[in-house]
Structure 1
């Protein structure tokens, strides 16, 4: 954890020094805003991984019909099914584990900040770029002069304001986690991807993750709750932007974007011309050869009878 302590404390101290130019260096608001600045810095650095996560999640959704076909075809042979499924992932450029990268990278940072607040700042111990004076200031900082940012819901020392603040942040953290996952499933998943193992996994995470954070949140320091809630709000806003402007095909978000594009084109006077229908050529009727009318023997005599065929001359020309 030592490299993480240096990285986190370095970013935290830079934000604190910047905010201290016009705010109280020992104030709780200054240190909370420094934590929020740390969160924004970490999330900005994770944008490339987030884009990769979105693309991977989209590919996973789009190939679900093909996965179902493989399950029907090779359901009796688990080894062959696994081989064909991995081949499908490789051919489509999909990594089923890419969607977990942002949260996997954030967890060590989250734990490092937790220990920084819970162990070192609370005791005034220097660590990384956080000096002893900064650690003491960090550990003693209070919001509204009553809520220590190192306090937790379980360790509130009987201060009601601490429990209320912690409860509000835990609810906010849980609600933003649920909303972010729900937003992805309801807006950016095609109808045929809402069933099957992958969809069941997403539905499980939709309800399990908020419960895990709600139960664990009562033991998190106030400062850590600010970090995670801010990170969830960033994720929700970033995901909303991506889904709105680059939705997966065949989803509700894609239909909404098409309607917005059409309305925008009409406002600017650009009428979207419908696709021309293929020209259907009329079916040609077969030509019917007219048969000559039959003549009686009397009619043939009156007309002089059938005309004899011309005889070729010696040079091959017809007379």
Structure 2
């Protein structure tokens, strides 16, 4: 109960409300589609549920399967929003712990097994003290990956979705004009770049990531059905907007600059007071 209360304090009521509404929307959409869709086993049942939900949402919009995917994607993003808020909170706390982590790494700089074990134990104790989970960043990905895989399989298992069209797209085939792959890459870059800007502790690897991921997304989207690429475009656009509001790098940089100026002002006051004491002597 105490842990649930702590999570609620971190996440807040609004993201939880949106997640509940999204879950209600997904379940309602699933029941809106009455035609049977077969699925064997746990995974097959999940994929069938997924297909029915998209088709159910599409039925709300005059059987527009593209809109069904767009709205369903937004539902999924709202559903994982509490995890994203928790992730962002953990990332901010991790950024504030960088000096302490560096001190531990310098203290246990030896490469022998015993020292590395002590370092891991000390880091784990530090994470626990600050209430941080180093694996929090994996939670949204672990939730979204099954959704993406299920969407891909659902398109191939559903002749209705595979034959659907939306704007210039045939949902079962790749985008002939490469518009979706380009948009997916651009929104991926925007999200990654904003997240990187918000992190003051960067190395060569983290600086390169915002430029590597978009190329991976672009070339992968070229070979995917448009329905999957459409999911990716909407999801990454949502992610970019979400990153801006939850992890606004411009606001965070201004706050860090103000904190540095405050520290400098305090240091100047200390030096001035010290000089005044010396003069009096």
Whether TM exceeds 0.5 here: the answer is yes
| Cα shift readout 1:107-150 (whole Å, capped 9, x = no counterpart) | 11001101111x223xx2xxxxxxxxxx2xx3222235x63111
In structure 2, do the counterparts of structure 1 residues 39 and 253 end up closer, same or farther at CA, with 3 Å as the change threshold?
A: farther
Which of 141, 145, 151 aligns to 2:173? It is: 151
Q: Structure 2 matches for 1:1-319, cutoff 5 A?
A: 1-20=43-62, 25=63, 30-76=64-110, 77-117=115-155, 119-121=156-158, 124=159, 135=160, 138-144=161-167, 147-152=169-174, 162-164=175-177, 167-186=178-197, 188-190=198-200, 193-194=201-202, 199-244=203-248, 251-254=252-255
* Alpha carbons of structure 1 residues 60 and 18: separation in structure 2 relative to 1, 3 Å: same
Unaligned runs of 5+ in 1: 125-134, 153-161, 259-274, 286-319
| Greater shift in the superposed pair: 236-245 or 48-57 | 236-245
Q: Structure 1 residue 57: deviation in Å?
A: 1.1
- Once the two structures are TM-superposed, the CA of residue 205 in structure 1 deviates from its matched residue by 3.3
Report the alpha carbon displacement of residue 201 of structure 1 after superposing the two structures with TM.
4.9
* Change in 2 beyond 3 A, CA 1:140/1:6: closer
Provide structure 2 residue ranges, at least 5 long, that are not aligned to the other structure.
1-42, 260-265
When residues 18 and 239 of structure 1 are mapped into structure 2, their CA distance, relative to the original with a 3 A threshold, is same
Structure ID, larger Rg: 1
Per the TM alignment, residue 51 of structure 1 is displaced from its structure 2 partner at its CA by 0.5
Alignment partner, residue 17 of structure 2: none
Report the RMSD for the aligned CA atoms in angstroms.
3.0
Q: Deviations over 1:258-311 (max 9, x none)?
A: 9xxxxxxxxxxxxxxxx9x99x9x99x9xxxxxxxxxxxxxxxxxxxxxxxxxx
Question: Per the alignment, do residues 114 and 90 of structure 1 end up closer, same or farther by CA in structure 2, a change over 3 Å counting?
Answer: same
Give, in whole Å, the separation in 1 of the partners of 2:220 and 2:121.
38
Looking at structure 1, the residues matched to 104 and 132 of structure 2 have their Cα atoms a distance apart, in angstroms, of 16
CA 1:243–1:150 in structure 2 vs 1: closer, same or farther (change >3 Å)?
same
1:313 equivalent in structure 2: none
Give secondary structure in 2 for the equivalent of 1:240. helix
Task: Give CA deviations for 1:189-239 in whole Å, capped at 9, x if unaligned.
Answer: 23xx23xxxx45533533332232222111111111110110011111111
Moved over 6 A (4+): none
SS at match of 1:105: helix
Question: Offset at 1:4?
Answer: 2.4
Aligned residues: 222
CA distance in 1, matches of 2:189, 2:244: 14
**C-alpha distance in 1 between matches for 2:54 and 2:258:** 39
- Under a length normalisation based on structure 2, what TM-score does the superposition of the two structures give? 0.70
Compute the TM-score of the two structures, normalised by the length of structure 1. 0.62
Matched-pair contact (CA < 8 Å) for 1:243–1:253: no
Quick check: which one's helix share is greater? 2
- What's the offset of the Cα at 1:11? 2.2
